[in-house]
């Protein structure tokens, strides 16, 4: 069986922990929130066996990588810079960059800003959205209210304290609640509460998720906790300011988009998905996974692997 190995790599200013497998053309796998390299466990081995060098880092602020204390050092420019720095540190000229959840905007941005480094780009759950005409946080507050989770995450200290209080419970609620097996409620916190209050703690985990998986996430978060991950959200308006030069700029490399038809994020973005070729002209395919929720590559590993490897072989 293919082995997943671990090491640390200096990627620019950041000492990144990576999990990797295989040899061949480089494929970067960028996780989302609240995840880490472990969310790509099924893809690392499958890609290696298909002839690729698959690398899943813990991104800035997460798990074994950790990150700076200053919230302002978690902008999209930092995150795309980390991806480019990692490509260089691994000795590759270019890579295919795949991202899920928050990793998808990082993948899209890397392909948009540095197409010379990106052979292809794969987004899961979160489609590419062109830069909006106004800062996003106030727009979300008007649309969804102060309880919307991205608005709540602007508060200092409070969101991560709630997540860190019972990490096993946090991962059970998040991974089950937003899956195709869970209720996938709108992430709008009640007055005086947090988003975990709208996500049930399951009596039984779905078949794709085990107690050992939950324990693995808890162990990976043991040192760095949730402050770094939440800091990504605290830069939403700053990202908008910093990306003015790429306003409505196209993404040139060949692209693939994958999402579950029970993913509240993707379902809510159908307009952006249907019009994505306006800004991603080389979008080769959009793959919808029946009955799949938000955790695309964990819930449907075989189907995701097939779609990703088919895309890679077509490059």
Q: How many domains does the chain contain in total?
A: 1
Q: What is the model's pLDDT at position 71?
A: 97
Contact 56, 29 (CB under 8 A): yes
Residues in the chain with pLDDT values less than 50: none
3-state DSSP: the chain helix, strand, coil percent, rounded to 5?
Answer: 45, 15, 40
- What angle in degrees, to the nearest 10, is found between the helix axes of 41-49 and 301-313? 40
Tell me the per-residue pLDDT of 98-123, one tens digit each, with 9 for 90 and over: 999 999 999 999 999 999 999 999 99
Q: What is the model's pLDDT at position 279?
A: 98
Q: What is the CATH number of the domain that holds 303?
A: 3.40.50.1820
**Measured distance CA(303)–CA(161) in Å, rounded:** 36
Q: What is the model's pLDDT at position 98?
A: 99
Which residues are catalytically annotated? 101, 294
pTM: 0.98
**Measured distance CA(275)–CA(5) in Å, rounded:** 39
Which helix (H) or strand (E) segment holds residue 6: the answer is strand 5-11
CA–chain centroid gap for 206, Å, is: 21
- Domain containing 111 equals 5-313
- Residue 43 to residues 50, 265, 308: CA-CA distances in angstroms? 10, 22, 9
Q: Which of 281, 256, 295, 243 is nearest to 120 (CA)?
A: 256
CA–chain centroid gap for 297, Å, is: 11
Q: What is the model's pLDDT at position 25?
A: 98
Q: Which of 249, 257, 255, 245 is nearest to 279 (CA)?
A: 249
Place of tokens 């990627």: 11
Tell me the per-residue pLDDT of 295-314, one tens digit each, with 9 for 90 and over: 999 999 999 999 999 999 99
Structure tokens at 177: 């609640």
């Amino acid at each position: 069986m293919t082995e997943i190995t671990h090491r640390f790599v200096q990627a620019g200013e950041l000492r990144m922990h990576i999990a990797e497998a295989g040899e061949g053309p480089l494929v970067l796998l960028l996780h989302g929130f609240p995840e880490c390299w472990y969310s790509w466990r099924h893809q690392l081995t499958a890609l290696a066996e298909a002839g690729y060098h698959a690398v899943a880092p813990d991104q800035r602020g997460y798990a074994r990588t950790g990150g700076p204390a200053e919230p302002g050092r978690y902008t999209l420019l930092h995150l795309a810079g980390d991806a480019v720095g990692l490509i260089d540190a691994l000795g590759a000229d270019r890579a295919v960059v795949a991202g899920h959840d928050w990793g998808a905007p990082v993948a899209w941005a890397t392909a948009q800003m540095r197409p010379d480094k990106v052979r292809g780009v794969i987004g899961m759950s979160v489609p590419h959205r062109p830069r909006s005409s106004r800062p996003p946080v106030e727009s979300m507050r008007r649309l969804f209210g102060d309880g919307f989770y991205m608005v709540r995450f602007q508060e200092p200290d409070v969101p991560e304290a709630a997540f860190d209080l019972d990490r096993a419970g946090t991962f059970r609620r998040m991974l089950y609640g937003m899956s195709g097996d869970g209720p996938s409620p709108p992430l709008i916190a009640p007055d005086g509460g947090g988003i975990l209050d709208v996500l049930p703690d399951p009596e039984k985990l779905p078949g794709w998720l085990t107690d050992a998986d939950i324990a693995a996430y808890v162990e990976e978060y043991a040192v760095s906790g949730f402050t770094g991950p939440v800091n990504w959200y605290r830069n939403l308006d700053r990202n908008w300011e910093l990306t003015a030069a790429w306003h409505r700029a196209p993404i040139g490399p060949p692209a693939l988009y994958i999402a579950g038809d029970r993913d509240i994020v993707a379902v809510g973005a159908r307009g952006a998905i249907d019009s994505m070729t306006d800004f991603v002209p080389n979008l080769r395919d959009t793959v919808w996974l029946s009955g799949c929720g938000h955790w695309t590559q964990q819930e449907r590993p075989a189907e995701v692997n097939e779609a990703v490897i088919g895309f890679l072989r077509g490059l």
